[in-house]
Amino acid sequence: MNKPTPSPVHWDRAFWDAAARGVLTVQRCTECGHRQHYPRPACGVCLSRDRTWEELSGEGTVYSHTVVRQPVNPAFREEAPYIFVDVLLAEGVRIVSVLLGAEPGDVAIGDPVRVTFRPAGQVDLPYFVLAP
């Protein structure tokens, strides 16, 4: 059974291009400076479609977390349980991802994490690991 993979569209392709280089980015409006993730078709503050991509450190802290014990998609059942994380990145924006290399009980809100990438279909998908 196949896992679903991201489907890049023309206005988020730069995110995936940076991800392929191992760099996490966030969409930034060139008119008003607003940053948003997940990417949107326009700036949510001023509706400008003139956007750039700000490179992020890839470092952050756990804002919240949960253990997925019952995936909806059977393709993920062998991997369960795994940890969904809501990460507050050092630059002040947030991203939802999965924490790799940790067991339920290993993670707490506020723990430092850093990004890592794994192939998913035609792109590299950002994941996180606990920072040493």
Partner 1 sequence: MTPAAIVGVAETQFSRTSDLTDEELMIDAVRLALHDAGLAKHEVGGLAVGTMTLKDDSPHIAEHFGLELDWSLKSDFGGASGLVGLMRAKEAIEAGVTDVIVVVSGGNRADQPELLHDVMFAPNDYGHRSWILPYGYGGANTFFGLIQQRYMHEYGLTLDQLGKIAVTFRENAQLNENALLKEPLTVEQYKNSRLISDPIRRNDCVMRCAGASAIVIANDALRDRWNHHAVYMGRYATRMAYQTTEESPSRIETGFVSIAEQLFTDVAREDLDFLQLYDDYPIAIVKTLEDLGFAARGAGGQFIERTDISRAGTLPINTGGGLLSVGQPAIAGGFIPIVEAVRQLRHEAGPRQLAKADVGLVTGIGLISYLNNLVVTSAAVMSRESNR
Q: What residues from 60 to 119 belong to the interface with partner 1 (CB under 8 A)? A: 63-73, 75-76, 79-80, 82, 84, 86, 88, 92-94, 96-98, 104, 109
Q: Is 51 in the site for partner 1 (CB under 8 A)?
A: no
Taking contact as CB under 8 A, which single stretch among the options 17-25, 28-36, 48-56 is the one that binds partner 1?
Answer: 28-36
73 contact partners, CB below 8 Å, separation of at least 6: 1, 3, 4
- As a whole number of angstroms, the distance between CA 67 and CA 15 comes to 27
Query: In 3D, which of 23, 94, 17, 106 has the Cα closest to residue 60?
Result: 94
- As a whole number of angstroms, the distance between CA 29 and CA 50 comes to 6
- For the beta sheet containing 51-55, the strands, ordered from the edge strand earlier in sequence to the opposite edge, are 35-36, 25-29, 51-55
Q: Between 23 and 100, name the residue whose CB sits nearer to partner 1.
A: 100
Q: Is 47 in the site for partner 1 (CB under 8 A)?
A: no
The residue ranges that bind partner 1 (CB under 8 A) are 3-9, 12, 34-38, 44-45, 63-73, 75-76, 79-80, 82, 84, 86, 88, 92-94, 96-98, 104, 109, 120-121, 125
